[in-house]
Structure 1
Amino acid sequence: MSAHTHGQSRGLPLVPCQTATPTITTTIEVPDGRRELAFETASVDTGSWAVFADYPTYVRWRYRGDAPTFAREMRVAEGTTGIGGDILYLGAHTTHERTVDGQRQVLVVPATAEGVAVTATLDALASARQRLATAPGAEPVYAIALPAGVETAAAGRADGNAFWVAADARRDGTTWVHEYLHTQQRFRHDDATVWFTEGSADHFADLYAYYDGRQSFEQFRAATTTDEDALVVLSALSAPRQGAYTKGQRVAAALDQRIRNATDGARSLRDVVARLNADGGELTNERIRLAAEAVAGGSLNSWFDTYVDGAAVPDLPATPSSYRPLTAVDTDGDGLTNLQETELGTDPRHTDADRDGLGDTREADGPTDPRLADTDDDGLPDGTEADGPTDPTVADTDGDGLADGTERDAGSDPTVADTDGDGLADGPERDAGTDPTTPDTDADGLPDAVEVDGPTDPTRADTDGDGLADDQETEGPTNPTVADTDGDGLTDGAERDGGSNPTRADTDGDGLADGAERDLGSDPTSADTDGDGFRDAREAAAGTDPTEATGLVDFWVARLFGLL
């Protein structure tokens, strides 16, 4: 893969010629097949894709008369798909972009890159843009998600208006923001000042991650207060300059605090960056100090001597109130700043973090919890309960023993303890197996409350299965829980239908129980069914048929033979 740079000179040509606007073209071949990005290296070509940093070309000329102008542009070779600015991505890709405060932010996602959180990344970059004290121009920025499969010595790399982030460094957005901030720095560092460019970028990347809820305050402070490389003298750094990222971040954070304290929180380190951006050029520690003094409104000579030119390590406050944002960023536009949402425990990127139908702003002041879709855990989302009739902070609004959601599903009224007015609260009805929406679940004529407190089963119309509904037996004379009240072998219902007395075992007093008479075919309500003058019991004992008249002789003969 290759790229071309073109230059045009207007005015006196660079070499003697007749061309009014001469062009110089330089072709740069990116090494094919390399799969390693060494430290401070921005370009690599794997064969199937490549990233390429703008190759510096230097042009010198002499002229007489009006000063010539020189325009530069970079193009990819014909047939190559590429996108970017000072760093190009060459290969198949998709782009996702937003315009924030006049700046296009373009996220380049190669076809082979996996696990790129597009929305979260763009949100993080947008937040960083909004938090800059003075936006350094509207030049577009290109953020490239580097595919896996390439060994990288750094988590990311920025050059001019573009940067890439390695595949294993995209987790919480801090590397994206760190490299983005480099694209917004309009000054150049050397070994003595790299602590400021890297340390401030690290500090802001972690601070903004805390503001935006991508890491906790404890995680932010742990990154800021590391003792790693504590003995390094920042102004005397040399390659590989690791102390710029560790102690440099701590000193940058401490300078931020020093300025906040001196200005009662009105200014911060970002104002120092804005001043240095306005001047551009090469950084020196004296320039950094003078800019910080102008922002803080006092001398910082001793402070820089101690922490930049010396090996001392500054202390940092442990309370979140010391790190309040100077710019209110509200990513989701719900009226709560990102930091307010972070402290609430909600998601600054969603207006309704718990997806309960109530916006975070409405829940922020209570009574419901904006982190829980169902604050009272009753089975109904807060949004369903917020406007009544149930209480979203009380699981059982009517106190009947059933959660509001359970009542909604069952059809009972969650605002009335006894929905059907049968004297039994809805919760006890569920426990008893009765229907809380019907006063008489088994339709036996007895209210459920009466049956629950009594001997009968409120879910069975005929508790004892004798053919008589419970309400027919409750007032007597039969027992609704005993199928055969008099124990004569006939159920109470059968006796009622047959005309016998269900409370007397021998209704007709003939010596035969009603059940026995049914088996013989005799009438349990008539002592002498066949009217032959012999009681049914005597005929049964003699062996004669109590349903057919028997003569006197026949009776005694049958009786005599029955006794032999």
Structure 2
Amino acid sequence: MLSRFQQLSGSAVSVVLAVLFAGVVVSVVVLEPGVIVGGDDPGPSVESVSGETTVTISYTDATGAAQTATVSGVDPTRTSAADDWAIVDRSSLPPALRAVDDGPAHGVVGFGEWALVGATKTATVPIDGTTLTVVVPAGRDVDPDRKVGFIEAFAGPYSLSGDTDSVVLVSVPDTFPNRGLMYADDRGYVTTESFWDGDAHSVWIHEYIHARQDFRTADGMTWFREASARYLSQRFMQEQYEGVTTSDVHAALAGRSEDTAVTLANRTTWDGTNGHYYVGARLLAAVDAEIRAASEGDHTVVDVFWAMNAEDDPVTIERFVELVERWTERDQPWIRDAIEGDRPIPERHERSN
């Protein structure tokens, strides 16, 4: 089933929380190496307001002084008194807690505007010149060892290059607004508990690929970020996992025919929709087929992704076409036409297998 699989154990974290649900204060204690937290007083007594939750965090700062931080207005679906954790607005934390956010082995793990505070399970693997860590709130039905193992097995065989030092993915409840989201600091979240979406895609790989996108794009190439994450997720799954077939990828590429009005180079035609995900993925499938055919399978669109990461300037449409032509050794004017909407995308992805 897996081409490769690696498991590593995560380390314990420590923070003390007092979470108030409907007027009942519950104190929880988790261990964190190197930080002294807790004490006899779980924090001030607070009240639930309009169904929201107040979280009290007791900790000891770097001077050894006992401190308490209270965060109100927390979404109750993003806390667990039984399992000792809460996800709060990152800006609501005092500087002392934000300061320990230099690694997921601490009791505070920041990702974008959010922070996971409290008990977690973690797993880390080295992969393609970086490190990948999956962080899971305690009690959540997600095995971080399996998740890093799957990503390492399915995405590890591909060199994406770039200067990414580390990637952190946090498993969060599905009350977050997206199935997955990667922030600029290469930390993101995934709401789906399963690794495989059941078709030809994996949100976990999709978000990991986003973290490896170290290139900048010019206006006409903005679509490439989501399109490449979607297409490469499909290809990685098809090539590394027996549960996803070439037919599954073709079916996924053929879907969403209503997106034919999307012009990739014109953001106003797809802004606020997912149209560029699907139209862009179909274009990249055609590009991939062209590269594989011209190189007799020695090169793929992954080589273009790698080359884009090596670029110093924002990648324009012209530069993207040039990079494809590097690997096909022939002119490919149809790519620019397809991006700008002057010609439909050729049905070449049937050859991409």
TM-score bracket relative to the smaller structure: 0.5 to 0.7
Higher strand share: 2
1:96 equivalent in alignment to 2:123:
yes
C-alpha distance in 2, partners of 1:241/1:282?
24
By relative contact order (CA 8 Å, sep 6+), the higher-ranking structure is 2
Shift of residue 87, structure 1, vs aligned partner = 7.2
Distance 1:146 1:312, change over 3 A: same
1:223 equivalent in alignment to 2:252:
yes
For residue 184 of structure 1, the aligned residue among 205, 212, 215 is 212
Which residue identity lines up with residue 180 of structure 1 in the other structure? Answer: Y
Partner of 2:303: 271
| Contact 1:188–1:283 under 8 Å retained in 2 | yes
Shift of residue 85, structure 1, vs aligned partner = 6.6
Distance 1:229 1:138, change over 3 A: closer
Shift of residue 307, structure 1, vs aligned partner = 4.6
Shift of residue 151, structure 1, vs aligned partner = 4.1
Q: TM-score, normalised by structure 1?
A: 0.41
1:136 equivalent in alignment to 2:136:
no
1:193 equivalent in alignment to 2:221:
yes
C-alpha distance in 1, partners of 2:248/2:156?
23
RMSD of aligned residue pairs (Cα, Å)? 3.4
Larger radius of gyration: 1
| Contact 1:188–1:282 under 8 Å retained in 2 | yes
C-alpha distance in 2, partners of 1:231/1:35?
41
Which residue identity lines up with residue 179 of structure 2 in the other structure? Answer: A
Partner of 2:318: 286
Q: Percent identity?
A: 23
1:238-271: per-residue Cα shift (whole Å, max 9, x none)?
A: 2214221111111111111111112221111111
| Contact 2:155–2:205 under 8 Å retained in 1 | no
1:113 equivalent in alignment to 2:154:
no
1:156 equivalent in alignment to 2:197:
no
| Contact 2:337–2:343 under 8 Å retained in 1 | no
Which residue identity lines up with residue 48 of structure 1 in the other structure? Answer: A
Partner of 1:123: 149
1:206 equivalent in alignment to 2:231:
no
| Contact 1:228–1:247 under 8 Å retained in 2 | no
For residue 246 of structure 1, the aligned residue among 260, 267, 278 is 278
Shift of residue 217, structure 1, vs aligned partner = 2.6
1:545-556 paired onto structure 2 within 5 Å? none
1:359-381: per-residue Cα shift (whole Å, max 9, x none)?
A: xxxxxxxxxxxxxxxxxxxxxxx
3-state SS of 1:131 partner:
coil
Distance 1:132 1:243, change over 3 A: same
| Contact 1:209–1:215 under 8 Å retained in 2 | yes
Distance 1:216 1:260, change over 3 A: closer
Distance 1:170 1:101, change over 3 A: closer
| Contact 2:164–2:212 under 8 Å retained in 1 | no
C-alpha distance in 2, partners of 1:31/1:293?
55
| Contact 1:230–1:313 under 8 Å retained in 2 | no
Distance 1:317 1:277, change over 3 A: closer
C-alpha distance in 2, partners of 1:32/1:281?
43
C-alpha distance in 1, partners of 2:196/2:72?
30
Distance 1:234 1:102, change over 3 A: closer
Shift of residue 220, structure 1, vs aligned partner = 1.7
Gaps of 5+ in 1: 1-28, 38-46, 54-73, 324-564
| Contact 2:220–2:265 under 8 Å retained in 1 | yes
Aligned length: 261
3-state SS of 1:210 partner:
helix
C-alpha distance in 1, partners of 2:72/2:287?
43
Shift of residue 190, structure 1, vs aligned partner = 6.0
